Structure 1
Amino acid sequence: MTLQPVRTLRAAVSATASLAVPVTLFAATLTAHAGTPFTLITNWYAQAEHGGFYEAQAEGLYSKAGLDVTLRMGGPQVNSTQLLAAGQAQCVITDDIGTMSARAHGVPMELVATSFQHDPTVLIAHDDVPDIKALRTRTILASSAAYSSWWPWAKVTLGFKDDQVRPYTFNIQPFIAGPNVAQQGYLTSEPYSLSKVGAKFKVFPLGDAGYPPYGNAIACRTDVIEQHPDQVAAFVKASAQGWKDYLAHPEAGDAAIRKDNPDMTQDQLDYAVKALNASGLVEGGDAKTHGIGVITAERLKASWTMAVNGGLVDPKQVALDQFYTTRFVDRDPVLP
């Protein structure tokens, strides 16, 4: 069984300095100009991991907030960073490291909110493995993108070594056939495929082991943040409400997802929504008390420090205060 090459192909998008311009944040949610065009480029084909955005669109939350939102699917041939830099979108779905990397390459963006309170990347092991650190003795199948994201952290934190890695080709058969093999995956994807073939396995989320980045975060162009903060506030607020609604009753969002991506099955959507709810990726962590979509300076400092120490980011190119702003999540939160 061959899997779609899921979210490990995250686009490298950038960040920019936090702006000191005072704006009315969520109070401005309903004041964006009626029907203002606003485009979000996602990080893959439409799926439950984008459900909050599709739900917000299907329910008319964006239009009520004065935005005419276009959800543009990502994919293996879509370079969202380049498209954003070319002005073809206001925001993209990315993560902490991708934002820092793009900032280092001169694309002025910054994180403004997130979908998931933790990165959904997991390590999948056979059911005889007691804990994630026990994978030090196993062969680990990892994608090439892992080397510029979680692998440097895993070597330091979990004691993994480069000589135990083999390429992950987004096919679950090598894992099934190899009793001493573990593989990377995505919380809502590979476990679904493995469960469908009756495999016995354990899932170890990297976030549970301390990997600090957020998952499916929203990063927007600096010029949009500076010139149209009301639009960004409206989008963030409506998206947070969309996530809350999607996790409670995903029917409208699912229909919109399947319209954009006919290859997505309802069974897989159902599995993913259940996993999102059970894991607390959207509504757990800081979101419990500070609202869906919240990002914090403490967490982002941890991500930045990890990236710097791992050689993924040059602090001379990307300062800590240059790749995110919390202004759009600090007021009027959408609580779970």
Structure 2
Amino acid sequence: MRTCLILATFCLFLAGCSTAKEDNSTGDSVAVQLNWYPEAEHGGIYQAAADDTYSAAGMNVDIRPGGRATPVAPELELGRVQFAMANADDVVAFRRQGMDIVAVMAVAQNSPRCILVRIDSGVNSFDDLAGMTLQRQTGRLFLDFMRSKGILDDVQEVPYHGSITSLAADPKIAVQAYSFAEPLLARQQGIEVRTLMVSDLGWNPYSSVLITTGKLIRQQPELVQRFVDATRTGWRNYFANPDLGNEAILAANEHGMTPEALSFGATELLPLAMPEGMKMKDIGMMTSQRWEELISQIDAVAPDQATPVKASECFTLEFL
């Protein structure tokens, strides 16, 4: 399976998935692998490419869109990309599998992960999900956490295919979602929805996390520093005015994304990235306490999956 996923990503690359500007300028060639189709959660990276922040920092950046089965960590470990996007729980999972993956900045301080239900479903809280059918990706740790709380005991789980169209046909369908994306897409289809935030249950990993390998940190710390600095600038610029970044995302996303959804996403993502007390200069920051709490939760809900890891191995503040 791992080999097939790597080959699939290579085919996408050959098909021309990159949104980086094609020119003959000199600079370091840097590839960054996204963990999903281009959306607002990747806004800072597209902004930094579109407004020439990366090129001004001496880098030609190749942004590679992801999808439902993108092999993010293998792409990094094979050296096919230098950076990638993930969530904090993914980082812990990668390291538990023996991969030397390290987070260097985290944009969303609070998780956008939610369960999306129709208003007329009768579901007002997680306790009301009994009898519903949940469309979800298999293997996601937030599901293990929900199961540990007994929330999914009477819920039928079926595969999630990256679409919320099933909500239009059946009020008994619930869908995994991000609060800054799918809710508006549903409303644009005439479906009134409610979001149940998984963070309200206590599961709140960092999201839109920029990751790389320990090897690159050790061998090319100057490159990592330049890319982190430029990406942080890209996110600041995106939150100030996302037009350029969203235009680039629209050009790269062939999965029904709309300008309205991206505008909504940028607006909804800002308070997740800048909760009360944070300033724009602090964007990307992380704490040991948050990583330690997440690792404890993962160890509790998935104790047999792999070797436990330490928080200090999962992230670094060296470049912040």
TM-score (norm 1): 0.78
Q: State the one-letter code of the partner of 1:291.
A: D
Structure 1 residues 191 and 319 mapped into 2: Cα distance closer, same or farther (>3 Å)?
same
Alignment correspondent of 2:211: 219
1:74 corresponds, among 38, 44, 66, to 66
Alignment correspondent of 2:44: 52
- Partner Cα distance (1:70, 1:312) in 2: 37
Q: What is the CA deviation profile of residues 121-161 of structure 1, one whole-angstrom value per residue up to 9, with x for unaligned ones?
A: 2112333657533334341413133x43101212334x413
Q: How many residues in Structure 1 have an aligned counterpart in Structure 2?
A: 292
Alignment correspondent of 2:142: 150
Structure 1 residues 286 and 63 mapped into 2: Cα distance closer, same or farther (>3 Å)?
farther
CA contact (8 A) 2:104 2:315 kept: yes
Deviation at residue 81 of structure 1 after TM alignment: 1.8
CA contact (8 A) 1:243 1:282 kept: no
CA contact (8 A) 2:107 2:284 kept: yes
Q: State the one-letter code of the partner of 2:287.
A: T
Structure 1 residues 285 and 227 mapped into 2: Cα distance closer, same or farther (>3 Å)?
farther
Give me the identity figure in percent: 26
- Partner Cα distance (2:69, 2:123) in 1: 38
- Partner Cα distance (2:304, 2:274) in 1: 29
Structure 1 residues 105 and 155 mapped into 2: Cα distance closer, same or farther (>3 Å)?
closer
Q: What is the CA deviation profile of residues 157-196 of structure 1, one whole-angstrom value per residue up to 9, with x for unaligned ones?
A: 4x41333132143443543444444332122332122101
Task: State whether structure 2 residue 287 is matched by structure 1 residue 296.
Answer: yes
1:267 corresponds, among 237, 257, 260, to 260
Alignment correspondent of 1:202: 194
Higher relative contact order, chain-length normalized (CA < 8 Å, sep 6+)? 1
Q: Identify unmatched segments of 5+ residues in structure 2.
A: 1-25
Deviation at residue 71 of structure 1 after TM alignment: 1.3
Q: Identify unmatched segments of 5+ residues in structure 1.
A: 1-33, 330-336
Alignment correspondent of 1:323: 314
Secondary structure, counterpart of 1:163 in structure 2? coil
Deviation at residue 111 of structure 1 after TM alignment: 1.0
- Partner Cα distance (2:280, 2:41) in 1: 22
Secondary structure, counterpart of 1:106 in structure 2? coil
Alignment correspondent of 1:101: 93
Structure 1 residues 74 and 180 mapped into 2: Cα distance closer, same or farther (>3 Å)?
closer
Alignment correspondent of 1:189: 181
Alignment correspondent of 2:232: 240
Alignment correspondent of 1:310: 301
CA contact (8 A) 1:138 1:181 kept: no
Secondary structure, counterpart of 2:103 in structure 1? strand
Task: State whether structure 2 residue 86 is matched by structure 1 residue 88.
Answer: no
- Partner Cα distance (1:148, 1:46) in 2: 20
Task: State whether structure 2 residue 269 is matched by structure 1 residue 276.
Answer: yes
Q: What is the CA deviation profile of residues 66-94 of structure 1, one whole-angstrom value per residue up to 9, with x for unaligned ones?
A: 32222121123532222111111111111
CA contact (8 A) 2:114 2:197 kept: yes
Deviation at residue 243 of structure 1 after TM alignment: 1.2
Alignment correspondent of 2:158: 167
- Partner Cα distance (1:260, 1:181) in 2: 29
Structure 1 residues 112 and 268 mapped into 2: Cα distance closer, same or farther (>3 Å)?
same
Secondary structure, counterpart of 1:294 in structure 2? coil
Q: State the one-letter code of the partner of 1:93.
A: M
CA contact (8 A) 2:53 2:230 kept: yes
CA contact (8 A) 1:48 1:272 kept: yes
- Partner Cα distance (1:254, 1:144) in 2: 26
Q: What is the CA deviation profile of residues 235-285 of structure 1, one whole-angstrom value per residue up to 9, with x for unaligned ones?
A: 1222122112112211211222233335543233223223223xx122225
Task: State whether structure 2 residue 139 is matched by structure 1 residue 133.
Answer: no
Q: State the one-letter code of the partner of 1:184.
A: Q
- Partner Cα distance (1:186, 1:231) in 2: 31
The alignment yields a C-alpha RMSD, in angstroms, of 2.6
2:104 corresponds, among 85, 91, 112, to 112
CA contact (8 A) 1:104 1:313 kept: no
CA contact (8 A) 2:168 2:191 kept: yes
